[in-house]
Structure 1
């Protein structure tokens, strides 16, 4: 059996959800938020958006445009900065102190829920 080379669009993050407004399933791709595909079944919505993304990627390559890096292979540092109002900062610092943990640990726990 010959292993198939996985193309970049196979590594993108796809999701299918129900659209009450359209009364159909909608296929989405996180790396291409402007693209979507409506279909009567989840499977057809996924196939449709996957094919659409593949066509867009091929077109981008043909035009020598950079394609988005798949989130699945992207390396994350685990750090990001969030700006919050000073009063929220104070409240979180108090909660952390009362819990006996660092502010970082408290924020990480709250975000992971």
Structure 2
């Protein structure tokens, strides 16, 4: 199957839209996580999204014209829900004590802390 612009636009890419308030004013910044450099902005989240869709179309067209690879969205099957983290002994101790204080396992406590 030949993959064209429409094929890629219909894929469930991960899009992030953030409110920005800096020296140039207040606006919304949007980008596609899997497509490095594919970004846009707008005065509202909706405008940022619409502008991003236009940018994404142009981004994909250029990649296809140049024969460059286009990453597809990462599927959920790629994630097991498990990863290993190394941390200082003092932090390990502190987290273990805090988890005990809350009456939960260290794993549950770390998930809680990360999800905040």
Q: Could you say whether these structures have the same fold, taking a TM-score greater than 0.5 normalized by the shorter chain as the test?
A: yes
1:56 lines up with 2:66 in the alignment: no
- Stretch of structure 1 that moved more, 87-96 or 17-26: 17-26
Quote the Cα distance in structure 1 between the aligned partners of 2:73 and 2:21: 29
Query: Per the alignment, in what secondary structure is the counterpart of residue 18 of structure 1?
Result: strand
Change (3 A) 1:109 1:70: same
What is the deviation of 1:81? 2.1
Quote the Cα distance in structure 1 between the aligned partners of 2:89 and 2:69: 40
- Unaligned residue ranges in structure 2 (runs of 5+): 1-5
Change (3 A) 1:26 1:105: closer
Change (3 A) 1:79 1:69: farther
Structure 1 match to 2:104: 101
Paired residues, number: 107
What is the deviation of 1:100? 4.1
Structure 1 match to 2:8: 8
Change (3 A) 1:64 1:74: farther
Tell me the TM-score normalised to structure 2 length.
Answer: 0.69
- Unaligned residue ranges in structure 1 (runs of 5+): 1-5
CA contact (8 A) 1:8 1:70 kept: no
Structure 2 match to 1:112: 115
The 5 A counterparts of 1:55-74 are 55-71=58-74, 73-74=75-76
Structure 1 residue ranges, 4+ long, deviating more than 6 angstroms after superposition? none
Question: What do residues 27-58 of structure 1 show as CA deviations (whole Å, max 9, x unaligned)?
Answer: 22222353321333432221111121222223
Structure 2 match to 1:3: none
